[in-house]
Amino acid sequence: MVRRIGAAPADAGAGAGGAGRSRTDHGGAVPVDGRAARAIRTRTAIVDALLDLLHEGDLQPTATRIADRAGISLRLIYHHFGDLESLFRSAADREAERLSEHVEPVDPHLPLDARIDALVAQRSQLLEWITPVRSASLLQEPFSEGLRAARDALVGLGEQQVFDVFATELAALAPKRRALVSSALGSVLSWGLWNDLRTSGRSIDESTAAVRVTVAALLGAG
């Protein structure tokens, strides 16, 4: 299943309910002073403003447009993010966080057809949603080690989900065949193929159907 993509949950981030607390690397919350809390809110506002503009189709927003959307002065962008690398890396991390808030595990004990349906439906929605940000990232990735690392981490999480959901079917294959099928599944369920389908004029439903039939064929469920 996948939760409806939209605004983050009310208790997420550093909004009104979390103005005085900051998350640790372990997911807990620690108290912070007023100045630190304001800095966290400002950085979050800048990153969310950038992501919102990207999702609206502005693939190369200027610092002025980001500041206007965030409701802050232009100076604060350069104060909190010294260069584009740090800003885009923070945006990539925030986008991954947004995605994780809307993904739910697919039950590996469901029948194969049901697992395929669930995973393909989930991926289709998420891949469509991240398209504006991925398109913008492609413009920056050649110059950003941080963005490339974030992309690779996201791909790795997607591949791990495939292994988890189809563990039974993959385990039944010989090692070389398992590696081949796993690689093919990762490609079929990736943003690259999704973007190719969508930019070639296929609708979301048509693209989803194409991905679904390919996954089924690879797993012998066609």
Residues 9-49 have pLDDT tens digits of 333 333 333 444 444 444 455 455 788 888 889 999 999 99
Interval 159-167 mean pLDDT: 95
Pick the most confident of 63-72, 137-146, 197-206.
197-206
* Mean confidence (pLDDT) of the chain: 83
Largest CA distance in the chain: 59
Summarize pLDDT for 50-85 with one digit per residue, the tens: 888 888 888 788 889 999 999 999 899 989 988 777
Q: Are 74 and 27 in contact (CB under 8 A)?
A: no
The percentage of the chain sitting over the pLDDT mark of 70, rounded to a whole number, equals 85
Exposed/middle/buried for residue 123 (C-beta within 10 Å: 0-12, 13-18, 19+): buried
pLDDT (average), residues 166-185: 96
Q: Which residue has the higher pLDDT, 7 or 177?
A: 177
State the residue for tokens 């009104």: 16
Neighbouring CB atoms inside 10 A of 86's CB total: 13
pLDDT of residue 179: 95
**pTM of the predicted model over 0.75:** no
CA pair distance 101, 88, nearest whole angstrom:
20
Average pLDDT over residues 95-107: 84
Provide φ and ψ at 156, rounded to 5°.
-60, -40
**Domains defined along the chain, listed by start:** 16-97 (1.10.357.10), 108-218 (no CATH)
Which sign, positive or negative, has the C-alpha torsion 141, 51, 104, 5? negative
What's the confidence (pLDDT) of residue 30?
A: 47
Residue 32: what pLDDT? 58
Position 16 scores a pLDDT of 35
Q: Phi then psi for 4, rounded to 5 degrees? A: -60, 135
pLDDT greater at residue 146 or residue 4: 146
- Torsion over CA: 157, 191, 89, 93 (sign): negative
Give 100's pLDDT tier (boundaries 50, 70, 90): confident
